[in-house]
Structure 1
Amino acid sequence: MDDQQVLSRIDDLVKEEEELLHRHEGEGLSSEDHARMEELKVQLDKAWDYLRQRRALRQYGDDPDDASERDGGTVEEYGTVTQYDDTDADAPA
């Protein structure tokens, strides 16, 4: 899948997400629609991750076709950020 195809996929997913939200505006989402929204979020994260991989490979002179789509669990873990503590307990006061 080339960059344009990935961008087209992202656009399609965003459109579906917006349609789903507008269809239920003011009434909330059903449990099925809520599950679909979560799936769309994962699919979008995967598509953006794949596109970033392709761009990074190209930037450093490698073949963007060597990029691989990661599974949803891996991509979703990227959103889990551990807060960095830069205080040094051993530093003199």
Structure 2
Amino acid sequence: MSDEADILGRINALVQTEHELRDTPGHDTTRLRDIEHALDQCWDLLRQRRARQEFGQDPDEVDVRPEATVEGYLQ
């Protein structure tokens, strides 16, 4: 994903898919979990970009962090 608009677009698409799955009786829980993890990674990427930009660094120098890293964060 190259910029903030792309990331937000991906987040919106994932949220829409998540809602559709949750509204489906007997939905695929594995797919839902994968979507939730992808959403967490997108939000993390967006936060990384915004933090770098806030501190005058290049926001394009961030990468998607591994699922295990993002899922291990305390909320």
* TM bracket, shorter-chain basis: over 0.9
Take 2:62 and 2:46, find their aligned partners in 1: how far apart are those partners? 8
Q: Which amino acid aligns with 2:49?
A: R
Asked which structure has the greater CA Rg, the reply is 1
Tell me how many residue pairs correspond in the alignment: 74
Structure 2-normalised TM-score? 0.92
- Which ranges of 4 or more aligned residues in structure 1 deviate by more than 3 Å? none
Larger helix proportion of the pair: 2
Q: Any stretches of 5+ residues in structure 2 without a counterpart?
A: none
Q: Any stretches of 5+ residues in structure 1 without a counterpart?
A: 82-93
Deviation at 1:23, TM superposition (A): 2.1
Structure 1-normalised TM-score? 0.75
Q: Which amino acid aligns with 2:16?
A: K
Take 2:10 and 2:70, find their aligned partners in 1: how far apart are those partners? 17
